[in-house]
Amino acid sequence: MIKIIGVLIVIFSGICLGFSKAAREQKKLEQGIDLKRMLYLLQSEIRYGFTPLPEAIASIANKTSDEWKPFLVQVSTQLSSRTEESFSSVWSHALQTHLKGVILEPKFLKDLYSMGETLGYLDKEMQEKTIGFAIEQLEEQIFQMKDGVIKNCKMYRSLGLSFSLLLIILLI
């Protein structure tokens, strides 16, 4: 009886481990898509709303998901407070504070850092182009990730079950 319970626990934990790993892979892809959406919103606020950068960031903070909101609010409030800090230092500090542990894919974080370095001091047209370039980079990374995520999700799920069954065979 105890062996059967132990076998079921090992199988269940292996399956859970595989599914959690697959969910993490899926979350990376979803974050990239959500990040691309946030940048599209920022670009359209600047392009069509003729909104200054701090106000545009504050405006999109209410339209994005909850994981991006603290980051955008901090950037907007620090830029609106008219401190002597540059946009790039405000942007990178907010990224470090709010998104370093949230973003699962390091390439996305790197793209955000590089976008923040060139965004703040440019005119409207160059800001749009900088955001557009960041969107293109994200789209390329998302495109490359899609096939891998599908394959990896299947692999992690099956490996979780396979390793748990292997462990049971070894223990019995």
Query: Which pLDDT tens digit goes with each residue over 64-115?
Result: 888 889 999 998 888 888 776 788 888 888 899 888 888 888 899 898 888 8
Residue range(s) defining the domain that contains residue 62: 2-171
Number of compact structural domains in the chain:
1
How many of the other CB atoms lie within 10 Å of CB of 55? Answer: 15
The runs of H, that is alpha helices, within the chain are 2-48, 53-61, 69-80, 87-94, 106-119, 124-171
Per-residue pLDDT tens over the stretch 17-30 = 999 999 999 999 99
- What type of residue is 1? M
Could you tell me the pTM of the whole model? 0.82
